[in-house]
Amino acid sequence: MSTRQHNRHENKASTQPGQAAVRIFAANERMNQMLLEHLDAATWRAKPPGKVRTIAAIFTHVHNVRAKWVRLTAPHLKVPRQLNRVHATLEEVRAELAESAARCEEMLGEALGEDRGRIEEFRRDGWARPWPLGIEMLCYMLAHEAHHRGQVCMLTHQLGFPLSKEVTSGMWSWEKLWKEGGSSD
């Protein structure tokens, strides 16, 4: 396949919102896993300056919010279990984040795919008005997680264990993150 044919093929595939949303959320999860893999263990429960969450509490929050999105939006999918922010270990959070990412990818694929299945609307929270299904759902989910990744990067620095340039730059290498997830070459 020529480069021109390859680019046309990739552009066509990425215009299908459900498939693109799944690939993008998978890349988002690889960023989270990259951060967790390179965290110094001393930062996991370290008390940050000010009245802010620990890194452990931030990542358990991300997982628990994902579980809520699935429970409220796609209860027919297996809803991930909630984690305790005080007791969850780094290894447990890594595994459970991978699980909740898989459920979110299923939810996005179904919600934004051609056959919307049983999903009728996106429910971010019990108090919030539901949204009609659309790309806004993915954007909201990504914004939430990017916000918390930014907090974690800042906290590692403030705690005296900054992440390497390789890790912080790696989060911006979307092409590589997509390929790691198995997108076509």
Per-residue pLDDT of the chain (185 residues), as tens digits, is: 445 554 444 444 445 889 999 999 999 999 999 999 999 999 999 999 889 999 999 999 999 999 999 999 999 999 999 999 999 999 999 999 999 999 999 999 999 998 777 899 999 998 999 999 999 999 999 999 999 999 999 999 999 999 989 888 888 877 777 766 644 33
How much is the pLDDT for 185?
A: 36
pLDDT of amino acid 96: 97
Q: Residue 70 and residue 74: Cα distance in Å, rounded? A: 5
Quick one: how far is CA 24 from the chain centroid?
A: 9
pLDDT value of residue 180: 66
Angle between helices 17-38 and 90-112 (to 10 degrees): 170
Question: How far is CA 126 from each of CA 7, 57, 62, 103, 132, rounded to the nearest angstrom?
Answer: 42, 21, 17, 19, 15
DSSP class of residue 164 equals P
Q: How far apart are CA 111 and CA 129, in angstroms?
A: 17
pTM of the entire predicted model: 0.86
Nearest alpha-carbon partner for 63 in 71, 116, 150, 123? 71
Q: Which amino acid is at 9?
A: H
143 secondary structure, DSSP code: H
pLDDT of residue 181: 60
